[in-house]
C-alpha cells in the first residue's frame, strides 16, 4: 500500500517543465572538447542549431556575442571556474538564424572533479530583451521628464518675471500670475492624459471657455491635435483673450458674445479666429501689457506662425496662425473633453474669506504649500491644526476639535482616504487640494469639493468658508 500524501522526488521531466514555465533554457559546458551541450529551449533562445556547439572564441556562440560584451562574458566565466563561484552575466547577441539583436542573461556554476579541478559548468540562459527595452524606455522617460520639468520651471520663472515687470501692485500680480499659471496647468493636464502626445484644440478651448456663460461663448472647428509646446502657447493665448474679454471686452456685459473658430490652412498648420461682439465699444489700448506682448510675439513664435489683433469698435478680433510643425497626428490615448465647470472667482484679499475662530486641519505633504496654506487661512481668521505632512501624523491629530479640513489626496505615496473617512464619519466637511488631473470626481468617491493645483490660497479659504456656511445653515 502506498502513501499518496508523502512528497515525491522531482524527476527530470519535472525540471524540464519548471524551466519551460520560467522561460529558461539549460546548457552544459564541457572542458573536454570545449563545447556547449544545449537543449531545444536554449537553441530557440540563442538562435543556434545542433545539440553540441563549439565553445571556443571562433565558435558560433561567441562570434554571435556583441564584440563589446565578449570580453566581460569570458572573464565572468573564467573567474567563476577559478574561484569556484557562480556567474551571472548579461550580454547582447545577434541571433545566427534570423539576425535579430537580443539581450541574454546567462547564469551558472562550475563542476569540479575529485581533484577539485573544473571540468564543466552548468547553467541556464534567458532572453531578457523585453526587460532591457523597458529599462531603456524608463531611462528615456526619466530624461524626458527631467527636461520637461526644467522647461516648465524656466517658463514659470519667465512668466513671473514678465508679469511682475508689468503690474503695479502685489494683488494685481498675484491675480494675473495665478491665472496664467492655472492656464498652464490646464494644458499640462490635457497633455498628461494623452501621455504627452498632443492636446486637442477643442479641449483647450473648453478648458478656458467652458466655465463661462454657455449663451455667450461658442467654439467650433475640426479635430486638431497640437504638440506640447504649441498646446501650452495656445492655452496661454486663450487665457489672455478670456481675461481681457471679462475685464474690458464682450464678456464684461451680459449681452456680449465670443466666437472661436479654427480650421486647417493650405500647406499645413491651422488658423484660429477669436471674434467678440455685443460688448462695449473697443478702443486700442493706451499701453501694452505683458498679455499683449505674449499674444503678439510669444504665441506666434511658439506656434511657428503669427498673431494679429484688431481693435474694431464692434469687438476685438484676434487671428492666430500656426505652422505645420504645431500639429501632430491623433494620439492613441485621447482624454475626454473637459466638462464645463463654474468659473473660478478672482483671488480676494485673505481677510475677505471669514474663517474667524474656525479650527481648520491642513494635511499636505509639500512643505512650502502647507506653509502657504497655513498663512492664508490664519490671515482669514482660522486657527490652523497641523499642518500634517504624513498620514500617521494626520491620523494623530483627529482626536481634536476640527471644524473643517484641507486634504492633499496623496501623502508621499499614501492615500489620504483614512483621514477623509474619519472626518466624514464625524460630519466634518473637507476639501481636496490635489495635483491629480482628470474629469473624475473626488478621490474615493467622497462628496467633497476639489481644488486643482496650482491654486491661489484664497480659493481654498473661500471654499472652506462656503463649507462652514453650509454646515451652519439649518437643514
Q: Hey, what domains does the chain have and what are their CATH numbers? A: 24-127 (3.30.450.20), 146-328 (3.30.565.10), 350-472 (3.40.50.2300)
- Give percent of the chain above pLDDT 70: 76
Residue 345: pLDDT over 50: no
- Mean pLDDT for the chain overall: 80
Calpha distance 305→295 (Å, rounded): 12
Q: Are 211 and 343 in contact (CB under 8 A)?
A: yes
Instruction: Give the model's pLDDT for residue 195.
Output: 58
Average pLDDT of span 249-267? 90
Q: Using 50, 70 and 90 to split pLDDT, how confident is the model at 47?
A: very high
Instruction: Give the model's pLDDT for residue 475.
Output: 53
Instruction: Give the model's pLDDT for residue 249.
Output: 87
Q: Among 224-238, 267-281, 305-319, where is mean pLDDT lowest? A: 224-238
Average pLDDT of span 237-261? 86
Average pLDDT of span 428-455? 71
Residue 442: pLDDT over 70: no
- Give percent of the chain above pLDDT 90: 26
Instruction: Give the model's pLDDT for residue 179.
Output: 65
Where is pLDDT greater, at 327 or 187?
327
Calpha distance 21→374 (Å, rounded): 56
Residue 259: pLDDT over 90: yes
CA distances in angstroms from 241 to 3, 178, 273, listed in the order given: 85, 15, 11
Q: Are 172 and 164 in contact (CB under 8 A)?
A: no
- Tens of pLDDT, residue by residue over 179-225, are 667 656 665 666 565 555 678 888 888 877 876 667 788 999 999 98
CA distances in angstroms from 136 to 23, 106, 130, 132, 142, listed in the order given: 22, 20, 10, 6, 10
Calpha distance 226→236 (Å, rounded): 14
Place of cell 539576425: 99
Average pLDDT of span 451-455? 73
Q: Using 50, 70 and 90 to split pLDDT, how confident is the model at 341?
A: very low
CA distances in angstroms from 440 to 14, 188, 412, 449, listed in the order given: 50, 16, 21, 12
Q: Using 50, 70 and 90 to split pLDDT, how confident is the model at 234?
A: confident
Q: Using 50, 70 and 90 to split pLDDT, how confident is the model at 105?
A: very high
Most confident of 97-106, 108-117, 223-232: 97-106
Residue 273: pLDDT over 60: yes
Instruction: Give the model's pLDDT for residue 453.
Output: 72
- Tens of pLDDT, residue by residue over 363-408, are 988 887 788 888 889 988 899 998 998 999 999 999 999 999 999 8
Instruction: Give the model's pLDDT for residue 144.
Output: 58
Q: How many other CB atoms sit within 10 Å of the CB of residue 88?
A: 12
Average pLDDT of span 141-169? 63
Amino acid at each position: 500500500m502506498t502513501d499518496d500524501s508523502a512528497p515525491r522526488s522531482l524527476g527530470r521531466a519535472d525540471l524540464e517543465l519548471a524551466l519551460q514555465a520560467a522561460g529558461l533554457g539549460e546548457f552544459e559546458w564541457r572542458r573536454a572538447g570545449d563545447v556547449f551541450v544545449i537543449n531545444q529551449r536554449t537553441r530557440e533562445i540563442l538562435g543556434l542549431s545542433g545539440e553540441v556547439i563549439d565553445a571556443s572564441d571562433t565558435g558560433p556562440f561567441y562570434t554571435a556575442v556583441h564584440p563589446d560584451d565578449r570580453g566581460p562574458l569570458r572573464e565572468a566565466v573564467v573567474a567563476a571556474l577559478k574561484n569556484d563561484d557562480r556567474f551571472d552575466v548579461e550580454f547582447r547577441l545577434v541571433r545566427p538564424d534570423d539576425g535579430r539583436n537580443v539581450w541574454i542573461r546567462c547564469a551558472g556554476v562550475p563542476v569540479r572533479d575529485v581533484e577539485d579541478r573544473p571540468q564543466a559548468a552548468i547553467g541556464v540562459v534567458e532572453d531578457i530583451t523585453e526587460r532591457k527595452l523597458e529599462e531603456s524606455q524608463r531611462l528615456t522617460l526619466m530624461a524626458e521628464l527631467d527636461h520637461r520639468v526644467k522647461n516648465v520651471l524656466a517658463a514659470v520663472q519667465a512668466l513671473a518675471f514678465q508679469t511682475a515687470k508689468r503690474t503695479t501692485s502685489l494683488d494685481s500680480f498675484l491675480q494675473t500670475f495665478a491665472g496664467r499659471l492655472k492656464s498652464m496647468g490646464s494644458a499640462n493636464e490635457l497633455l498628461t492624459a494623452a501621455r504627452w502626445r498632443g492636446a486637442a484644440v477643442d479641449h483647450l478651448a473648453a478648458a478656458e471657455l467652458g466655465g463661462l456663460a454657455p449663451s455667450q461663448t461658442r467654439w467650433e472647428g475640426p479635430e486638431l491635435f497640437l504638440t506640447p509646446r504649441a498646446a501650452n502657447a495656445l492655452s496661454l493665448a486663450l487665457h489672455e483673450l478670456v481675461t481681457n474679454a471679462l475685464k474690458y471686452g464682450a464678456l464684461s456685459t451680459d449681452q456680449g458674445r465670443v466666437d472661436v473658430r479654427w480650421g486647417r490652412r493650405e500647406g499645413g498648420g491651422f488658423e484660429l479666429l477669436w471674434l467678440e461682439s455685443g460688448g462695449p465699444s473697443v478702443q486700442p489700448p493706451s499701453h501694452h501689457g505683458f498679455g499683449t506682448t505674449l499674444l503678439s510675439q510669444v504665441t506666434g513664435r511658439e506656434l511657428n506662425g503669427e498673431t494679429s489683433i484688431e481693435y474694431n469698435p464692434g469687438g476685438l478680433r484676434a487671428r492666430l496662425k500656426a505652422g505645420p510643425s504645431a500639429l501632430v497626428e491623433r494620439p492613441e490615448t485621447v482624454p475626454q473633453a473637459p466638462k464645463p465647470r463654474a468659473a473660478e472667482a478672482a483671488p480676494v484679499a485673505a481677510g475677505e474669506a471669514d474663517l474667524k475662530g474656525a479650527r481648520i486641519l491642513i494635511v499636505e505633504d509639500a512643505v512650502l504649500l502647507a506653509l502657504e496654506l497655513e498663512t492664508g487661512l490664519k490671515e482669514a481668521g482660522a486657527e490652523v491644526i497641523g499642518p500634517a505632512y504624513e498620514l500617521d501624523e494626520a491620523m494623530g491629530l483627529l482626536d481634536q476639535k476640527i471644524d473643517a479640513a484641507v486634504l492633499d489626496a496623496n501623502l508621499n505615496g499614501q492615500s489620504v482616504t483614512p483621514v477623509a473617512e474619519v472626518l466624514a464619519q464625524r460630519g466634518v466637511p473637507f476639501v481636496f487640494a490635489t495635483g491629480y488631473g482628470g474629469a473624475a470626481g473626488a478621490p474615493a468617491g467622497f462628496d467633497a469639493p476639489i481644488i486643482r493645483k496650482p491654486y491661489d490660497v484664497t480659493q481654498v479659504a473661500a471654499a472652506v468658508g462656503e463649507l462652514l456656511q453650509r454646515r451652519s445653515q439649518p437643514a
